[in-house]
Amino acid sequence: MSAQAHELHEVDGVGAADTTQPRSRLELIDWNEPEVPEGLTDAEYDEVLHRLSVASVERHFDAFADIDWDHPDFEVRADDPRWVLPDVDPVGRHPWYKALPLEEQIRVGQWRYANIFKVGLQFENILIRGIMQYVFTAENGSKEYRYLTHEATEECHHTQMFQEGVNRMGVDAPGMPRWLRAVAWALPLAASKVPLAFFIGVLAGEEPIDHTQKALLREGVEVHPMIKRIMQIHVAEEARHISFAHEYVKRNAPRVGPVDRFLVSLAFPVIMRVLGDAILVPVKEFQQEFAIPDEVIDELFWESAESKEFLSELFSDVRMLAEESGLMTRLSRRVWRALGIDGRPSRYRSEPAVKFA
């Protein structure tokens, strides 16, 4: 069933929960933007997976059926000011960028979008392979098997969507840093060997992109229609994927042994910071292409007070997850702080940043 039959809702609330005479607490969940309650029984967990699977069938998108790539509004032009990066992007709000001529701002914007999309599709490629590794040993009747293969299918469409966007922009974006591309072949193996760490890594790849895309869509800034459409589709489907990964970590962290739980609690912030940087910090090719001074890169990522605040906000949802899953210990909290990604946890998923006067 193509998503052409469905209207794309606003990013703040995809769909609406049916709260009439709820038979259980699961009835209150919006399955397109699910917030899963604490302490699920095994039966409730299976029901959550079933309903997420049904939501994947009823509401999904195809990269080529649901995006009119050849629509005149999607034309990529070198003189289109809608490619100028908005202030919600760290590069877009920096004085160095704002001082560039318009045509150069446009070129930087296209490069920036293209590389973030390329990183996104590379992460999702790793995720797809990891999911296949994980479900290979799933027991017959496993509800995780069905949901995760739905997720892998959706991620395949995302990789097609991102790659087509990169192709249309005409930018030879490398995506991930070279070192991460070199080890990417091995990362899916973690899904069967250390699945808890793998799904934390899934969130490290999904949360920064989801956070920045939601911030851009919520600001209502004018961006190129192709970029906006890609982001809308990605945000709509990632809500389910992120919800599952959160629930997997919350459910399984207390079930591993104390030594493994201790090690994962320390690895959690490291995984977040390393993979977050891989997504957001421009690769050397970007810096060289536009002759960006080293001091500008350093200020952007992450030496200025504004960039430090942005970095902290980026991980507020996963700090909440670490607290809820028992992975935020006295020692691991120090690691979060040392990496510059500590701060107030979210009260609920996708909570907008709180600004104090």
| pLDDT (tens digit per residue) in 206-237 | 998 888 888 888 888 889 999 999 999 999 88
SS3 357: coil
> Is the CB of residue 200 less than 8 Å from the CB of residue 38?
no
The distance of Cα 225 from the centroid of its chain, to the nearest Å, equals 20
> Is the CB of residue 119 less than 8 Å from the CB of residue 286?
no
Residue 57, judged by CB atoms within 10 A of its CB (0-12, 13-18, 19+), counts as exposed
- Better pLDDT: 304 or 139: 139
Q: Could you tell me the two tokens for 191?
A: 């899904």
Element (H, E) at 179: helix 178-183
List pLDDT tens digits, range 145-200. Answer: 999 999 999 999 999 999 999 999 999 999 999 999 999 999 999 999 999 999 99
The pLDDT score that the predictor gives to residue 212 is 86
> Is the CB of residue 80 less than 8 Å from the CB of residue 68?
no
SS3 17: coil
Residue 296, judged by CB atoms within 10 A of its CB (0-12, 13-18, 19+), counts as middle
pLDDT band of residue 18 (cuts 50, 70, 90) is very low
Angle ∠(26,31,36) on CA atoms, nearest 5: 50
DSSP secondary structure code for residue 302 in this structure: I
Q: Is 80 exceeded by the pLDDT of residue 261?
A: yes
Catalogue all structural domains in the chain, each as residue range(s) with its CATH number. Answer: 39-338 (1.10.620.20)
The pLDDT score that the predictor gives to residue 28 is 54
List pLDDT tens digits, range 77-124. Answer: 999 999 999 998 999 999 999 999 999 999 999 999 999 999 999 999
pLDDT above 90: percentage of residues in the chain: 69
Q: Is 80 exceeded by the pLDDT of residue 349?
A: no
pLDDT band of residue 280 (cuts 50, 70, 90) is confident
Q: Is 50 exceeded by the pLDDT of residue 12?
A: no
CA dihedral 212, 214, 217, 219 (to 10 degrees): -80
pTM of the model: 0.87
